[in-house]
Amino acid sequence: MNDEIAELADRLDDTAERLAELSIELLQGALADADTSDQRARLERSVTRARRATIKAASILRESMGASEAFDD
């Protein structure tokens, strides 16, 4: 069970990394195109919030793995 949770946490880390890359791309696009900068900035904030939530979810899963190891004895 812990292996599955660890795998999910790793996948969430990968997703958070991709969201960070997307956020940077959105910021670069906003700088390059002033006409859509407000819209891109709003989208970037949403992507950043999703990234933070994904990082938090991975952390929670890893914390729960430590708690479940106490019951494995």
> Confidence class of residue 36 from pLDDT cuts 50, 70 and 90?
confident
* Domain spans, the chain: 2-65
Look at the pTM and tell me if it is higher than 0.75. Answer: yes
- pLDDT digit string (tens) for 40-58? 889 999 999 999 999 999 9
Q: What is the pLDDT of residue 73?
A: 43
> Confidence class of residue 69 from pLDDT cuts 50, 70 and 90?
low
> What secondary structure, in 3-state letters, does the chain show?
CHHHHHHHHHHHHHHHHHHHHHHHHHHHHHHHCHHHHHHHHHHHHHHHHHHHHHHHHHHHHHHHHHHHHCCCC
- pLDDT digit string (tens) for 7-28? 999 999 999 999 999 999 998 8
